Amino acid sequence: MSTKAGYCIIKIMNFDIEFEQEEDGRWIAEISEIPGVLAYGVTPLQAGAKVKALALRVLAERMENEVSIPGINSIAFASHYEPVAIN
């Protein structure tokens, strides 16, 4: 957060979660904005929960070790899973 003459700028990062079903039925969720952050689950909900937790752990570790993160003051996740009817 930067301040200047009574002004405050807060940057909000939104991370998109992409879902894909593997041939074996497992679901994979990935946050491409954070390299290496992907997780498998039996359902999209489970994969999404796991990938959010992993993203938070990765970001927390980077913050602890003072690794550059582009001005994150707030974090939000947007899941893009839409059930598809299979006939």
pLDDT tens-digit readout, 27-82: 999 999 888 999 999 999 999 999 999 999 998 888 788 776 665 666 666 666 66
Residue spans per domain, the chain: 2-79
Long-range pairs of 56-62 with CB within 8 A, sequence gap ≥ 24: 58/34, 59/34
Residue 2 confidence (pLDDT) above 70 = no
- Fold for the domain defined by 2-79: Double Stranded RNA Binding Domain (3.30.160)
Whether the Cβ atoms of residue 10 and residue 71 lie closer than 8 Å to each other: no
What type of residue is 70?
Answer: P
The reported pLDDT for the residue numbered 30 is 96
Nearest residue to 79 (alpha-carbon basis) of 56, 52, 57: 52
Cα gap 7→37, rounded to integer Å: 34
Q: What is the pLDDT of residues 38-51, one digit of tens each?
A: 999 999 999 999 99
Q: Is the pLDDT of residue 21 over 70?
A: yes
Vertex 19 angle, CA 25 and 76, to 5°: 145
Is residue 18 a contact partner of residue 37, using CB atoms and an 8 Å limit?
no
